[in-house]
Amino acid sequence: MTQEIGFTKMHGIGNDYIYVDSTLYNIKNPEKAAIAWSDRHKGIGSDGLVLIGKADIPEADFTMRIFNADGSEAMMCGNASRCIGKYLFEKGLTKKTSIRLLTAAGIKVLNLTVEGKVVKNVTVDMGEPVLDNERQFANTDANGKETTLKISEKNIFGTFVSMGNPHFVIFTDDLTTDSIEHYGPQLEHDSMFPERANIEFAKIQEDGSIRMRVWERGSGITMACGTGACATAVAACLTKRTGRTATISMDGGELQICWNKEDNHVYMTGGAEFVFEGYIHF
């Protein structure tokens, strides 16, 4: 027996997802739906599937579940959290401009910048980065200076930062697709990351901004990654390449990241857009 499911397609600087209101539609197998619907030829086409729900605890307003294009469920999605803020406000599901979103990585607070009835951009309190020391600085050089993680025989150095979901940030001048397609899947599945990992390839630019491209766990190369942008900004600061605020420039656009010294929280600011709506039989 197929169901007719209403969906909304949105993107956060090119990182596109299918959004379904789970108070209206009960998708029995979201993993399977994410795989089928993410297919850019036989499905709707997206980087994954996001389910929006109503929170049943007083500490939160709404809930988010996010499934990658391979059907794997992730703890958190930065770009999707901004899209949810826009979705909820512009569809009249809330009048709040500060929304508490319950995710598998805890409650994230979305602060909407609104002009009239339109959400112009969203700042998300992404919480504290988790620096996993045994994977953070595996080596120190002769002077005891902390270096960054060396991935075994690949002789690749990077910085592990979790934003609720795992990220490995590599600073390199080589941001070519060939390299990312070569090293991305290898590193995603490296034994150093039992839960797999999102892999960021980043380069500090002359104006101090950071150019970053990403191989996402479960979705491959995407146009942008919100949690990845946060992890990249934290890694750049940790390795003394930048200060605590950074503009992260990705294929799909820019995000402003601030790793606040007072509360140790990372704040991400950027846009979100509707693309189209439709129904799919599943």
Ligand X SMILES: N[C@H](CCC[C@H](N)C(=O)O)C(=O)O
Residue ranges that bind ligand X, judged by CB under 6 A = 15, 66, 68, 74, 77-79, 165, 198, 216-219, 225-228
- Considering the candidates 83, 225, 230, 237, report the single residue annotated as catalytic: 225
Shorter beta-carbon distance to ligand X: residue 88 or 124: 124
Q: What does residue 179 show for φ and ψ, rounded to 5 degrees? A: -65, -45
Shorter beta-carbon distance to ligand X: residue 21 or 200: 200
- Shortest distance, position 48 Cβ to ligand X, whole Å: 7
Q: What does residue 90 show for φ and ψ, rounded to 5 degrees? A: -75, -20
- Shortest distance, position 229 Cβ to ligand X, whole Å: 8
Sign of CA dihedral 272, 273, 278, 282: negative
- Shortest distance, position 153 Cβ to ligand X, whole Å: 25
Separation of alpha carbons 35 and 5, rounded Å? 15
Structure tokens at 18: 């299918």
Shorter beta-carbon distance to ligand X: residue 163 or 279: 163
- 3-state SS class at 201: strand
- Considering the candidates 77, 83, 230, 237, report the single residue annotated as catalytic: 77
- Shortest distance, position 73 Cβ to ligand X, whole Å: 8
77 part of the active site: yes
Shorter beta-carbon distance to ligand X: residue 60 or 163: 163
Tally: H helices and E strands in the chain: 5, 18
At a CB cut-off of 8 Å and minimum separation 6, what does 206 contact?
Answer: none
Which residues are designated catalytic?
Answer: 77, 225
